[in-house]
Structure formats: structure tokens, C-alpha cells
Structure 1
């Protein structure tokens, strides 16, 4: 009770009034932070998660937050007008997010896109939350048009996506990352794999992918040192993915353009 009372006193003079301008923003996801910056509101970010600080070059911001373990007192101390979160933040922070709302702090939830097309909805929603509706709609339209430009016919090639080797981990056909890769005209060998799962080497060999996408040089080296299997993998086209492909933002079109030319 004492802790809650302290928190309440910290914000007792800070309850939102209708129509209040958004001047102080807290973001808890690197993809959200990137889109806030795309909308021209970088200078209003007063706190963000530690990954955003590095990814979006916000090292001047002193307040580094943990997106996996939300510190509600730290957020309240930043006196934000708006806190923007993703579904990922709710895994361990649902109660803390609810507390922020109870104390009158505006919280905007951005759903995790399930396809590259849905990224447009994310930036549009963030634009509305920031009172940048026109800018958000414009960026959404520009993004979807760019996406159409790189859409090509089926390349008649299949791929396997190597996320990790210990254990083997890949994506089925119901993830954002799969949607991004299939947008350039290649098909996942695990079309009925659902979301994330662990396949066997036998499964991969049986489905005989034309292309293997890896997330790091380590994963590539793993495939090429699998004893009698290294000949199988060495004959495949192995492509190292840009680490930023996992971020569902409009800037993914630049990554997909390069991949499209590489295949």
C-alpha cells in the first residue's frame, strides 16, 4: 500500500485533461520507437527500451527501460503524455500497464503485425495516437506502394529459415517473418508448420529447400559443419539475413528489395 501511495503522490498533479498535447513520449519496443521517429517525433521521446537506444541512436536519452520487466515507477517519473507499447510488453507487464492507466497515463497498444501489409496499420495507429494522423496515413500509403513495387511472381523456389541451431528452430507459415520472406516470391518448406517450432534435420533434408536463410554467421557455419550433411547444405544458396528484418516497420522494404535482387 505504501508503494502505491508513493506512486499516486508522484502523479497526483498529473492527470490528463481532454485534448492535452503530446509532448513527452515513452516507447517500449524498437519497432515502435522507429515508427515514432519516422513520424517526426524523435525529439519528444523522453524514455525508451535499451534496444531502441542502440537501434535508433538515442544514446542521449538517459532513461533506459526494460521492455521485459516494466518499471512503472520509472515510467511515471518521466511524466509522459503517452506510453506506446507492443503486445510483447504485455507478456510480463500486463498488471503494470493497467496501473499506469489507472493513474491517468495514456497507453497505446500496437498489435504485433502478422504480415508485412499490416505494418501499414501500425504506423497509421501510431500517427493517430501522436495527433499526426495525416502524416501517418501518408506514410502508410507510401509504404504499401513500395511493397507492391517489389512484389514479383512466384520464383518457383523454396526456402528454409534457420533461426537457431541449439535447438533447431524455424518458422512455419503463420509469422510476420515468413510473410516478409514469401513476399519476394519464395515459399517456406514448412507451409503447415504454424508459427515457431523445432524441426529435425531429416525434415529439412526431405523437403529439400532451394534457399536457406540464416540469422547469423554462426548458424551458417553450423549447417556447413554437419558431418555427412555439409555437402547437402553447401550446394544450397545460403543467405544471411539483415538482423533488422525482424522489426515490423516500413523500413523493411529496403531489406526486401536487397533480398529480392539476391535471389
Structure 2
């Protein structure tokens, strides 16, 4: 399957019908040291996910994570040593155990082969959760984030569930603070400038994000006007735009968040060669940003990297 289609499917089962499943800005908040949070004290503990309450009698020692965003959260809060398996798209951090488990179509048989005492899933995996419960394996089902607050809440939930509540709270607070600082920096650098419009492209077929999505919410923090809001496809928040629509909307900034041919992570030149795109303000001024496909689609702690990339593009646009 083409990687662009995999990225569409990654958000599909939870918040988008067609979207994304990593750009080089400043590093995201550093992973929090396990320190004393590795203690098994505080159990049993009961947490609430999208399905209801889940009780963990003991601190889990064998965690299977079938969501890239949650895998990143687990390692960042200091629970990486407890993770024994992850899904095929959990490629970060590098020490995440490499498997071919699917997060899209979870196989309970494959999951149980790792003898887990906690399974973390995202999207629509209710059937898998029920089957795991039937064999006595606790599972947490957490949908894709729709706003930044969801990221902070899920980090803290995983902290309580894995025995790392203090480091999780510290990480959540740090991510929130980092983003607030980046937004403040942009506000200071752009004071007095006119508002900017933008187009975020998810794939070659020109699917985009509206402001009601998690990605759109990040852009909204910077006061940017999203051209896709005028073309929202039903309630999905991920409309497919046409070249004519984008040209007419004439965005000031363009962000690309998918790899190009042969895994190349620079689609800027290809976009500029589209018919009539040379008339778009963003293209004329060179205000096109190639984003890291993972950091610009996942709602884990590296959302700070995404915010940094957006901020750098906004600030640089005034220098064109």
C-alpha cells in the first residue's frame, strides 16, 4: 500500500476518514527520567479510557502498544522498559521493539503471544478490547486526539496506568509549557503583521485538515486562517481539495506532511510545478514547508516539534 494511503488510514479509524500515520525543528521536550516513578507503589489503580474504567491490580511489566502516539508517550514518561511489543508503525523512539503487529486490524492471537499484562490501542478497536478482556488482559482504548488537551490527558492517564504518574505529569506540563512559549514567540515576532492563511496537504490527492482536527487545532494556536475550513467534508474534518480551490484560496503558507516518491521527504519542487500554482502567494514567496510526516500527525510529546516547525515558517514568512 502506498505510504500516503497508510497515513490516511492511520487517523481514519478514529478521527479521519483519510489521513496520516516525522521536520526538523528544535528537539521536543526530553523524555522524562523514570526516577522513583518506576516504583510499583500505588497499585491497584483504576483509570478511565474511552470505554469506561480499567483496573490494573499490579504495575504492568509487559506492555503492548498498538498506537505510534502512545508508544512515544510510554517511552517519554519512562515506561519504555515495560514495553515488549509495538505496532508496525511505531518507529519512534529507535529503541521501541520492532514487530509486525497491526494497529489497524489488531490480532488478539498475535497480541497474546507476547504475554502482555497491558495493551494500549487507539482508534476503533472495541472488538479487540472485548476479546482481550475475555482472556483476562487489561486494555486501554484511547481515540486520536482532537485537541492539545487530549495529549496532556492521555500522557497522564498512561502515567497512572504504568506506575509513572509523577514523570507523566511533568512531561504533560512541559509539553504544554513549550507550546505556549513557542506561540508567545510567534506573537512577538509577528506583531503588527496581517493575518496569514495556510494550506496543509496530507497527501498527493490533496486531502487537507480543517480547524476541527488535532492538526488544525495546532495551527489555530498561531492565529492562522485555514483555507480548508471552507471546504470541510461533512463531519470528517479532512476534506479533499481541488487544485482550483487551492489556487483561488491563494494561501500565504503551504505545509506538506507526507513523503514523496521513493521515500523522499521533499515535495516542495513537485508542488511548485503544478499548473497555476506559481500564482499562489506561498509559492511566489517560497513560503512552503516540508514537515516531518510523523511529528505533524501524531499527538504525542513530539507535537512540540510540529509547533516549532510551524512557528519557524510563520516567522520566516515575514522575511520573504
Quote the residue 2:229 is aligned against: 191
Is the Cα contact below 8 Å between 1:47 and 1:64 reproduced in 2? no
SS where residue 180 of structure 2 aligns?
Answer: helix
Q: How many residues align structurally?
A: 240
- The Cα offsets for residues 27-61 of structure 1, whole Å up to 9 and x where unpaired, read as 00111111000111111111111121x322136x3
Quote the residue 2:165 is aligned against: 133
Change (3 A) 1:33 1:228: closer
SS where residue 157 of structure 2 aligns?
Answer: helix
Of residues 176, 180, 186, the one that matches 1:144 is 176
Change (3 A) 1:199 1:81: same
Aligned equivalents of 1:217, 1:83: Cα separation in 2: 30
Aligned equivalents of 1:65, 1:213: Cα separation in 2: 31
Aligned equivalents of 2:291, 2:220: Cα separation in 1: 14
Is the Cα contact below 8 Å between 1:151 and 1:185 reproduced in 2? no
SS where residue 97 of structure 1 aligns?
Answer: helix
Deviation at 1:216, TM superposition (A): 4.2
The structure richer in helix per residue is: 1
TM-score (norm 2): 0.69
Quote the residue 1:223 is aligned against: 271
Quote the residue 2:306 is aligned against: 255
Of residues 43, 49, 53, the one that matches 2:87 is 49
SS where residue 85 of structure 2 aligns?
Answer: strand
Deviation at 1:79, TM superposition (A): 1.2
Deviation at 1:231, TM superposition (A): 4.1
SS where residue 256 of structure 1 aligns?
Answer: helix
TM-score (norm 1): 0.82
SS where residue 145 of structure 2 aligns?
Answer: coil
SS where residue 170 of structure 2 aligns?
Answer: helix
User: Larger relative contact order (C-alpha < 8 A, sep ≥ 6)?
Assistant: 2
Quote the residue 1:234 is aligned against: 283
Is the Cα contact below 8 Å between 1:111 and 1:122 reproduced in 2? no
Specify every segment of 5 or more residues in structure 2 that has no aligned partner in the other structure, as ranges.
Answer: 1-54, 261-266, 315-320
SS where residue 65 of structure 1 aligns?
Answer: coil
RMSD over aligned Cα, in angstroms? Answer: 2.2
Aligned equivalents of 1:120, 1:157: Cα separation in 2: 28
Aligned equivalents of 1:259, 1:169: Cα separation in 2: 19
- The Cα offsets for residues 176-222 of structure 1, whole Å up to 9 and x where unpaired, read as 11112222332212234440011222222222210111124744334
Aligned equivalents of 1:228, 1:147: Cα separation in 2: 35
Aligned equivalents of 1:56, 1:112: Cα separation in 2: 19
Aligned equivalents of 1:136, 1:64: Cα separation in 2: 28
The structure richer in strand per residue is: 1
Aligned equivalents of 2:56, 2:259: Cα separation in 1: 52
Quote the residue 1:29 is aligned against: 67
